[in-house]
């Protein structure tokens, strides 16, 4: 995150980070994970996915673990795990506030 503080994650950003929680993944695996996890609600086109991967790599949230031809595999870093947990906590607070107001 460097000198610039990043705001909340977008929904695609959140799910891309989530995809790395259990194992290293390549782009195709990430896309499949996100579509399955969201039951098709969030679909990642190649432009969106690879822009996010480059951004996350630049910010130190993920790192490349393997290159096999054009296939690149990535994993979550400690900084990425912290960003994911921070967003999860923020979302939980939003839901709690919304449920409280709906009562």
Tokens in use for 94? 């939003």
Domain ranges of the chain: 11-102
In this prediction, residue 7 carries a pLDDT of 80
CA count, 13 A, side-chain hemisphere, 82: 8
In this prediction, residue 5 carries a pLDDT of 61
Whether domain 11-102 has CATH 1.10.10.10: the reply is yes
Point out the residues of the chain with pLDDT beneath 70: 1-5
Contact (Cβ atoms closer than 8 angstroms) between residue 84 and residue 17: yes
In the chain, how long is the greatest CA-to-CA distance?
55
In this prediction, residue 3 carries a pLDDT of 38
In this prediction, residue 57 carries a pLDDT of 97
Tokens in use for 67? 């290159």
**CA–CA distance, 27 with 13 (Å, rounded to integer):** 13
In this prediction, residue 4 carries a pLDDT of 53
């Amino acid at each position: 995150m460097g000198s610039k503080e990043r705001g909340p994650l977008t929904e695609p950003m959140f799910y891309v980070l989530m995809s790395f929680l259990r194992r290293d993944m390549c782009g195709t695996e990430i896309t499949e994970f996100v579509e399955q996890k969201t039951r098709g609600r969030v679909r990642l086109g190649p432009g969106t996915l690879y822009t996010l991967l480059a951004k996350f790599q630049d910010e130190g949230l993920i790192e490349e673990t393997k290159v096999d031809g054009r296939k690149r595999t990535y994993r979550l870093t400690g900084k990425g795990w912290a960003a994911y947990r921070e967003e999860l906590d923020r979302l939980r607070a939003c839901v709690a506030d919304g449920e409280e107001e709906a009562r």
